[in-house]
A and B are shown apart, each in its own frame.
Chain A
């Protein structure tokens, strides 16, 4: 039998010590009438056959298209060192670092992770990661409700629409009021947002660059939020923070993001991880694990799980969240990735994404029939429209070897014929030129 090392002699010896006749007696506490005779599934496969089976299944997936698809999940480089280090089983076969002395490796990586997230965001404190960007945003909204003791959340329509849906689910079961404020020309509807800020608002959630790629400065909105003692919650694309104004400089109170872009594969959407950072004053309202540095009994520095009185295993129904795990191994990967990138590397990578996207935007604007819909101030994504239906356009480009972008018409009918195009540092001029000429061909 796979992965059980018991010899027949040992099984006998162990049963004898327990005082049982046969293995089935081990389940004597389960009422007989509830017991089943077995599971109606195929018998186990040997390792070789299992590999062949799944290799054949994997071959049914298509991964040979050139990606111009982003929308929160980006085709960035993954350096070999990330796989090599995160593949060490000392990282991936350990567990929650409750026994600090036996877990200094994981704990120190997470402390370094928290430090890096604080550097990205400019904020004071970070937790040790959440499930993903969407749940981090939802938990941030709940944080704003807890901190302000108010019950209304404003959601900017520029937020990733799948995130908005997740946030709505989290809020609706708590009877927290929320309102989505639609964008205007793919940009935050400033006046509308400002008009809605008053003493009833717990927090305003927004994204920068927004889902459509538009970059904005939210400083004035945040000033008004603070006048009314409401909180600003920003979801941001970590790579863009190599270049764009950081959340703390805008005055944001809570920063959250998805970490897939930092050294992780696309994984069909998961696992990724979510980050949350905030001001020190709000640390007691943070969900999830937090790592701190302290001293041991001999005065040696040691890392530990800290501020645990916020968490479910201590506080039970009064906890800040029900979350137990973090997405540790993915956060470890990203800590390694950010270490490799370093201060200049992050800025360079952001610049590569921006510059290459700007090139493509320029090239596309020269094609008859293609219209760029958010012309100014975009980072590495932008919206185009063509005379073709979104489905038609994407199908035709797919046949030519490209995933040309995200079908916005499938997100909302009002985005008819519109496509969200994304570029990362991986795209070469050659690929982009081929893409542009293919678009010319299909139109």
Chain B
């Protein structure tokens, strides 16, 4: 295919000798030289542009994004709720922004009492919300937290002289769960879901044995359903001393309603960018605090805090600690945002958030249930999963629906996940959206169904208003272009 419209990158805008920055002056004179064999022969060809060029280029690029502040963004499993501005304002206070982490190495804990207090506050809040007995904020994202959790479980078994082989996950799990198990050296047993979308209890019981190190579950699961037999599952696993891992991706459904620790889960990670409104940032940075019960406390990673005589101090993890997974306190700046958000919400606000999240999802589910296939009937929690299976027979796929929505100022829901639902459309409205927006979304979805009846071919042309439409992903791989070429 010949190229129609070419994109101008920042490199295409470069002009020899143009500068976008004035650096502090060289106010010393020295004649120290470095051996030329150690020096770079040619400069790195970064673009040569003015400050204003940079401002205009990146401002224009930002306009090409859909974002929560501009659009309803109902990505399932992602909890795209409004990010309150007060959180950013606090995180940008000089006292938080300009702390050097090596004050830890120097043991200058007295100089960072404020930040250690915020870490303590966050840990205590999370313990209370989840029912766990201790938290660490060192993991830098949910998947990083998963890795830490499985490492601690591995150490737990080793401390009892056992080396177990398997991690159990349901077939509805996030891809990070099996990938994490492999990353820590485990083999994965995948258990199918039953007709209600829950992990099949009988199969689960059959597969349990003393070679299973842990069971990783998302609760409510990725179908948005709460497993009524969750306590029994924990009990069965514990009979074999296998530990229960709680993937906290869907915490936004249950704050103030039910606590994983009370049910019997041994370890949990929280995705603060989901439940606790830290900005998604276009894909990060996140922060993935991990909570444990008393069984796993001794395995917590290197670098924590304790309070003695009214002063916070650093702790380096005990004899059985798994070691370091981050140099210092992980993505501290993100953890800080989470605790400020929790402070605004408080206990009442958190329960209210979960309640309204579940209200919005069920309202949306009921409004759409007659227009789409509903793979698993019944009340959902904070998100609902529909299927475009019937529409697909008319030639309109879940992806077509996703692309259609973009033209109406609506970001697409998650599509083709969970993997166990054909033509899955996974919708998570969150509590911060008003009824009018959800109604508009539902109306647009229903219009899509009508269009599928009248003119299914038309879907191939969506989106029509964004300047680009339907990338050729195969070409992207075959004619790999992953950097600007001079």
Contact = CB atoms under 8 A, between A and B. Distances in A.
B443 to A, nearest CB: 14
Contact of A173 (B73, B151, B403): B151
A292 B476 contact: yes
Interface string A138-176: 000000000000000000000010110110111011110
B283 A97 contact: yes
Contacts of A316: 175, 178-179, 188
B80 A95 contact: yes
Given A1-B349, A242-B44, A15 B359 contact: yes
A341 B48 CA distance: 8
B346 A322 contact: no
B348 A90 contact: no
Contact of B258 (A13, A30, A291, A348): A30
Interface string B397-434: 00000110010000110100100000000000001111
Given A36-B256, A325-B143, A268 B332 contact: yes
B451 interface: no
Interface stretch (B17-25, B204-212, B236-244, B385-393): B17-25
A294 B93 contact: no
A29 B228 contact: yes
Contacts, number: 693
A324 interface: yes
B333 A96 contact: no
B324 A339 contact: no
Interface in A38-93: 38-47, 50-51, 53-55, 57-63, 65, 67, 69-73, 75, 77, 79, 81, 84-85, 87-93
B20 A118 contact: no
A414 interface: no
A290 to B, nearest CB: 6
A50 B90 contact: yes
A429 B27 contact: yes
Nearest to A361: B32
Interface in A100-134: 100-106, 108-109, 111-112, 114-116, 118-120, 124-126, 128-129, 131-132, 134
B351 interface: yes
A298 B463 CA distance: 12
Nearest to B402: A99
Contact of A296 (B69, B324, B468): B468
Given A97-B282, A267-B332, A306-B473, A346 B406 contact: no
A377 B32 CA distance: 9
B477 A270 contact: no
Contacts of A5: 432-434
A227 interface: no
B231 A26 contact: no
Nearest to B112: A61
B59 A85 contact: yes
A6 B353 CA distance: 11
Interface residues of A, number: 205
A195 interface: no
Contacts of B435: 6, 10, 13-14
Contact of B65 (A45, A94, A135): A94
A19 B280 CA distance: 34
Contacts of B281: 91-92, 94, 327-330, 332
A217 interface: yes
A43 B83 contact: no
Interface in B208-240: 225-226, 228, 230-231
B283 to A, nearest CB: 4
Interface string A267-290: 111110100000010010000011
A343 B111 contact: no
A15 B135 CA distance: 36
Of A53, A104, A246, chain B has the most CB atoms within 10 Å of the CB of: A104
A20 B475 CA distance: 51
Interface in B332-358: 332-334, 340, 342-353, 355-356, 358
A92 B106 contact: no
Interface in B304-326: 322-326
Given A11-B359, A307-B477, A336-B54, A165 B143 contact: no
A225 interface: no
A14 B32 CA distance: 74
A293 B476 contact: yes
B49 A339 contact: yes
Interface string A317-353: 1110111111111101000101111111111110110
Contact of B151 (A62, A134, A169): A169
Given A31-B228, A339-B20, A268 B178 contact: no
Nearest to B419: A316
Interface stretch (A182-190, A198-206, A404-412): A404-412
A228 interface: no
Contacts of A90: 62-63, 65, 67, 69-70
Contact of B359 (A14, A77, A268): A14
A388 interface: no
Contacts of B93: 54-55, 58
A62 B111 contact: yes
B11 interface: yes
Nearest to A175: B185
Contact of A58 (B78, B96, B366): B96
A320 B321 CA distance: 26
A6 to B, nearest CB: 6
B100 A328 contact: no
B328 A268 contact: yes
A128 B21 CA distance: 25
A58 B95 contact: yes
A356 B285 contact: no
B406 A99 contact: yes
Contacts of B94: 58, 63
B163 to A, nearest CB: 10
A191 interface: no
A340 B13 CA distance: 13
B75 A95 contact: yes
A410 B105 contact: yes
Contact of A265 (B97, B115, B328): B97
Contacts of B366: 17-19
A432 interface: yes
A133 to B, nearest CB: 8
A403 interface: yes
A410 B107 contact: yes
A14 B362 CA distance: 9
Contact of B327 (A108, A269, A322): A269
A318 B472 contact: no
A270 B328 contact: yes
Given A30-B258, A403-B100, A102 B185 contact: no
Nearest to B52: A81
Interface in B174-215: 174-176, 178-185, 187-188
A172 B45 CA distance: 39
A155 to B, nearest CB: 14
Contact of A292 (B24, B285, B417, B481): B481
Contacts of A128: 283
B46 to A, nearest CB: 5
Contact of B483 (A118, A245, A340): A118
Interface in B21-69: 21, 23-24, 26-30, 32, 34-35, 37-41, 43-49, 51, 54-55, 57-59, 61-69
Given A92-B67, A166-B324, A267-B332, 17 more contacts: A6-B435, A10-B434, A15-B359, A39-B347, A44-B344, A44-B346, A102-B463, A131-B285, A169-B301, A174-B185, A268-B96, A270-B331, A300-B5, A339-B10, A339-B58, A342-B18, A344-B19
18 contacts: A2-B344, A6-B435, A11-B359, A14-B362, A26-B379, A41-B347, A61-B114, A95-B283, A131-B326, A134-B327, A162-B328, A270-B101, A324-B141, A329-B284, A339-B20, A340-B49, A342-B19, A356-B28
What are the nearest 9 A-B pairs in CB distance? Answer: A58-B95, A44-B346, A269-B101, A329-B281, A269-B328, A60-B114, A299-B4, A271-B285, A325-B284
